[in-house]
Structure 1
Amino acid sequence: MKSAASMEPRLHRMPFLQGLLPINSTQLPHDIVAGITLAALGIPEVMGYTKIAGTPTVTGLYTILLPLVAFAFFGASRQLVVAADSATAAILAGMLTAVAALGSKEYIALTSTVALAVGVMLVIARVFRLGFLADFLSRSALIGFLTGVGVQVAAGEFAGLLGLAKQGHGPIMQIVSVFQRVGGINVPTAALAIAVLVVIVGCKRFVPRAPGALIAVIGSIVASAVFNFASRGIAVTGDVPGGLPSLFLPPVHMNEINQVLATAASCFIVIIAQSAATARAYANRYNEKGDDNADIIGLAAANAAAAFTGTFVVNGSPTKTEMVDEAGGRTQIAHLTTAAIVLIVLLFLTKPLSFLPGAVLSAIVFMIGVKLIDMKGMAELYRMQKDEFVVALLAAGVVVFVDVMHGILAAVVLSLIAHARHSYRLRTRVLTRGPADRWIAHPVTPNLLAAPGIVVYRFEADMFYANAGRFTEEVLKVVNEASPTPRWIVVDATEMYNIDYTAGKTLVQLGEELDKRGVGIAAVALATGVRHQIERYKALRAHGAHREIFATVDAAVVALRDLSPSPQPSAPGPESPSDTKPD
């Protein structure tokens, strides 16, 4: 019989159950308690998300049933909670209404079709190992995007808090429409919503561990049943179907396929970025090895489970993951516990949910929106990195003033632009000797020499098509404007790790230009890849010219101090300067 120790490595090599195995008996009680906590806090929250997504209340419960189980079995993260999420719910409502009325049977069916399409996209991403795509949505753009979603979500519930129907397109018009109808406010509904907000905020402020949303939900259900809120003009949820969700294949209609795919692609980007960022953060917290590509399979299985059970897209949820972590949960057993509790609710407790006032869900969703508005993150960006603050602000603005889909595109494009901008507007310097033979960096200016006749020019980034022109311009500037003309240009490429084709050809052309001026060129490079690229492009080779790649700036200056760069007759033998090979 094999020992547990010998079995453990085998369990870790399994393509599934990585979030569950090995089971730690001492941790098990903590995971169960965390699962109960997640159910208490998460059930009201996912019911609230159905108001954002425009689907029946019970579909929120479905998102924390089989999708949770599917990710627990097929995902790799031991902490990530996969369930309904406000960002993806907002994407659904913002995009699918172009082809179906919000809340209609066609719309509800399309939300499941989108979940299936997302699952397929995630499988394709796993096949091609596209987990790295999560890196292309920067944290600053994600802060801005989620802040914009928060404004949109909170503004969308403003009318519901006051007992008014939602009117107007976009957050600004929705708020304006409320003020235009201020005389029609339903006072009992508004009073109930204010009471719920007081309970949620009060619990968070004075009793942080108390489930404020759950207390508000249970209290309002009891009050609604006892005092018959429906007869007093306060809208209630109505019948909530009980039992297990029916299994079905989501419909696919070709006349709607373009909108479905566009919606799924928007959800896919958010899911990849948000889930990976959350899973990585908690894996790092507990010194565990993350696996983005394995998590993608778990997310695909979770979205397939959502699609086949008639609910909408699910995503890795930072808020729910933090709920479990704070409650002591460390494995997916906590999430299976939550699923078991949801199953009990669906089988036996849906009747009480029919008394739940709509204003209570509006208040919960309003608070979710407010929580998404990351003022702390925006303030930190403004304080520490103003250019990235602008990226976040633009992403938020596009979500608020245009729509969620364009907000997603803006977030991705702005992230890429920010990266390209950092690489393009890189720091370049010329080096001179300072006290104690230390190198001092200066802005690129002519007549700053590292040694007589030698200019050391530092380029602190990878060299590619967008910044190659600047490289040439600055090198020629320090040559053409210097008096006298330097004999050598030493390019310090120690912080350069890649040279693309355009940059390689630029190096060749620059070498030819410097030859015409009687100026030699050499390089300092540490990265093996860069050395090979320079050699491959023959960027430092010319007939009869002495050109080398040195290991350090000091070595380059010592070697070139008394050496003439002008072409010299080739001498036979391995010591011929024309045959010099890079170090």
Structure 2
Amino acid sequence: MGYTKIAGTPVVTGLYTILLPIVAFALLGSSRHLVVGADSATAAILFAGLTGLGLASPGSAEWLTLASLAALLIGAFLLVASVLRLGFLADFLSRTVLVGFLSGIGVSLLVGELPDMLGVRAGGGFIHKLMATVRLLPTTHLPTLVMALSVLAVILGSERLSRKIPGALIAVAIAIAVTSLLGLDRYGIATVGSVRAGLPTIRVPPVSLADASRVLAMSISMFLVIVAQSAATARSFAQQNNETLNENRDLVGLGVANILAGLSSTFVVNGSPTKTAVVGAAGGRTQVSQLTTAAVTLVVLLLATSLIAKLPTAALAALVFLIGLRLIDVGSLRQIYHFRRFTFFVALAALVGVVLLGVERGIFLAIGLSILDHLRQEYHPKDVVLTRQGDHWRPQPAEPGVQTGPGLIVYRFEAPLFFANADYFEARLEALIHGSSPPVRWAVLDFVSTSGLDYTAGLTLASTLRRLQDRGVTIALAEAGDIRDDLERIGIIGQVGAPHMFESVGEALEAYQSETKRPHPWQEP
């Protein structure tokens, strides 16, 4: 129910998300642990996207119709992705950027729920809402604030006692009971109001192709988040329990779950990290837990919706506030910061992008940053010269003057060679050879860490090697099995005057010894 506040849909639609959709994934998905239902990330994207379109007001029938349409589109995307075996798309959001992205959603949720927790009215975007909330602090409605803080205290207190205690359920039950018994709604504490009883209506939402085109970009955003977040959550729990996954089968389960969500008058569903963690902490080990949840939800919809009417809005806001707080992964951000500063700034950029640009644009920014971070690492990768120290080979930073032996270098470039780093490779090798004394006569290129070679890099490599050979440097290529076919196609090997080819660095050094008649103190690394 708390997620409906994020999505801007009626409270009862939150219950609908854990009725048919949760059953669909339980029966069709491969993960034994993943809980599929409403989720803060996709709910926030939905709200931001529909708000930006300006076609309907939150909570209206038109708003819910567009939300259901988005779920149908996403379901279709997920089914197509499963047919095309596109489960690998989850890898396009790195863990670094996903931490920043979800933390940004968390910050947005914190600010978004403050007005309802304080009992004030503040709208607009993130900055406007934050400034308005601060300005309205003196007008805080104290009973509403006390209600919100009490709910937080009950949830956090129960968790300190045991993770298996359903603190959120207890807090909501107490809030409903106290409001009903004391009539707190008469003292200015807003409540959810009447909640529709009974089962959802199964129907295709009355929409047009024009409506579908308007929600398309938003739906693609949510599709990417669902693929990435669901896969990341399912993988995490599968690894903890030494289980295997079929990600394409999970896409089928998620696709059918979203189609059923769209047909049952609710909004998009996702593999939820928070709900999955709650079920795991409570002892759930299979999808039987989720089927039981659906059965309980069915009973509530048929018999107990009248109780929900007295649920204070501040209590729901407190629940969502706590969700937002937990999405801000301070521990992972701190770990990323200590791991590498630039990587931390990538995560921080994703966080700030979501907060300032909105969740819909933020997901595309996050994907772009993931790719950029990868390209940055591949653009200037580590490169070394193998040297001999005692009985061991040791890689030394590839700086001018470092040699494997007098007039010999064994150079290793620890990345695939492609268009973005080809010139860097050329410059590093040239500087290494021309900055050495005595002059380099043999250069062994160890390609053991080079798993790929594209056309642009192949041309650059060919011209570099020809230039070095023209200057009297003997070139030997070793451990080039992964790119041998590419080297042949580009004309670097298999022709007159081509560099020497060896299966290992050890063989190259034997050839060096034979040709130069120098003593051979090395062994194969």
TM-score, with length taken from structure 2: 0.94
Range 274-283 or range 533-542, more displaced? 533-542
1:480 is aligned with what amino acid?
Answer: H
The answer to whether residue 345 in structure 2 is matched with residue 393 in structure 1 is: no
The alpha-carbon deviation at position 541 of structure 1 amounts to 4.4
- Alignment match, 1:476: 430
Q: Structure 1 residues 481 and 188, CA, compared in 2 at 3 Å: closer, same or farther?
A: closer
Q: Structure 1 residues 81 and 503, CA, compared in 2 at 3 Å: closer, same or farther?
A: same
- Alignment match, 2:206: 251
- Alignment match, 2:513: 561
The alpha-carbon deviation at position 132 of structure 1 amounts to 0.3
Unaligned runs of 5+ in 1: 1-46, 565-583
Range 388-397 or range 338-347, more displaced? 388-397
The answer to whether residue 492 in structure 2 is matched with residue 539 in structure 1 is: yes
After superposition, residues 284-303 of structure 1 pair within 5 angstroms as 284-303=239-258
SS at match of 1:281: helix
Partners of 1:452 and 1:561 within 8 A in 2: no
After superposition, residues 298-447 of structure 1 pair within 5 angstroms as 298-436=253-391, 438-447=392-401
The alpha-carbon deviation at position 264 of structure 1 amounts to 0.5
- Alignment match, 2:112: 156
SS at match of 1:442: strand
- Alignment match, 1:22: none
Partners of 1:451 and 1:557 within 8 A in 2: no
* Cα distance in 2 for residues equivalent to 1:467 and 1:149: 35
- Alignment match, 2:478: 524
Partners of 1:454 and 1:561 within 8 A in 2: no
The answer to whether residue 466 in structure 2 is matched with residue 466 in structure 1 is: no
SS at match of 2:215: helix
Q: What is the alpha-carbon root mean square deviation over aligned residues? A: 1.6
SS at match of 1:466: coil
After superposition, residues 209-220 of structure 1 pair within 5 angstroms as 209-220=164-175
- Alignment match, 1:40: none
SS at match of 1:561: helix
- Alignment match, 2:157: 202
The answer to whether residue 5 in structure 2 is matched with residue 71 in structure 1 is: no
Partners of 1:148 and 1:395 within 8 A in 2: yes
Partners of 1:531 and 1:549 within 8 A in 2: no
The alpha-carbon deviation at position 454 of structure 1 amounts to 2.1
SS at match of 2:515: coil
1:488 is aligned with what amino acid?
Answer: W
- Alignment match, 1:143: 99
Partners of 2:410 and 2:446 within 8 A in 1: yes
1:540 is aligned with what amino acid?
Answer: I
* Cα distance in 2 for residues equivalent to 1:546 and 1:235: 81
* Cα distance in 2 for residues equivalent to 1:353 and 1:557: 79
CA distances 1:331-356 after superposition (whole Å, capped 9, x unpaired): 11110000000000000000111111
SS at match of 1:456: strand
Q: Structure 1 residues 319 and 298, CA, compared in 2 at 3 Å: closer, same or farther?
A: same
1:128 is aligned with what amino acid?
Answer: L
The alpha-carbon deviation at position 360 of structure 1 amounts to 0.8
2:75 to 94, 119, 140: 119
CA distances 1:468-503 after superposition (whole Å, capped 9, x unpaired): 111111222233333453222110111111111112
Range 97-106 or range 285-294, more displaced? 97-106
The alpha-carbon deviation at position 449 of structure 1 amounts to 2.8
* Cα distance in 1 for residues equivalent to 2:487 and 2:119: 70
1:227 to 169, 182, 187: 182
1:552 to 492, 504, 518: 504
- Alignment match, 1:31: none
1:132 is aligned with what amino acid?
Answer: F
* Cα distance in 1 for residues equivalent to 2:47 and 2:133: 20
Percentage of pairs with the same residue: 45
The alpha-carbon deviation at position 74 of structure 1 amounts to 1.4
* Cα distance in 2 for residues equivalent to 1:471 and 1:296: 40
Partners of 2:117 and 2:318 within 8 A in 1: yes
CA distances 1:444-468 after superposition (whole Å, capped 9, x unpaired): 2334332343221111111111111
Unaligned runs of 5+ in 2: 517-525
1:84 to 34, 38, 53: 38
Partners of 1:110 and 1:251 within 8 A in 2: no
1:217 is aligned with what amino acid?
Answer: V
The alpha-carbon deviation at position 154 of structure 1 amounts to 1.2
Partners of 1:141 and 1:411 within 8 A in 2: yes
Range 472-481 or range 91-100, more displaced? 472-481
The alpha-carbon deviation at position 358 of structure 1 amounts to 0.9
The alpha-carbon deviation at position 540 of structure 1 amounts to 3.1
The answer to whether residue 85 in structure 2 is matched with residue 129 in structure 1 is: yes
* Cα distance in 1 for residues equivalent to 2:401 and 2:99: 45
1:62 is aligned with what amino acid?
Answer: Y
- Alignment match, 2:48: 94
The answer to whether residue 134 in structure 2 is matched with residue 179 in structure 1 is: yes
* Cα distance in 1 for residues equivalent to 2:182 and 2:458: 79
Partners of 2:176 and 2:312 within 8 A in 1: yes
* Cα distance in 1 for residues equivalent to 2:436 and 2:268: 63
* Cα distance in 1 for residues equivalent to 2:388 and 2:192: 76
Range 141-150 or range 202-211, more displaced? 202-211
* Cα distance in 2 for residues equivalent to 1:358 and 1:287: 42
2:359 is aligned with what amino acid?
Answer: V
2:124 to 164, 168, 172: 168
CA distances 1:361-390 after superposition (whole Å, capped 9, x unpaired): 111111111111111111111122322211
* Cα distance in 2 for residues equivalent to 1:452 and 1:147: 54
TM-score, with length taken from structure 1: 0.85
Partners of 2:43 and 2:268 within 8 A in 1: yes
SS at match of 1:113: helix
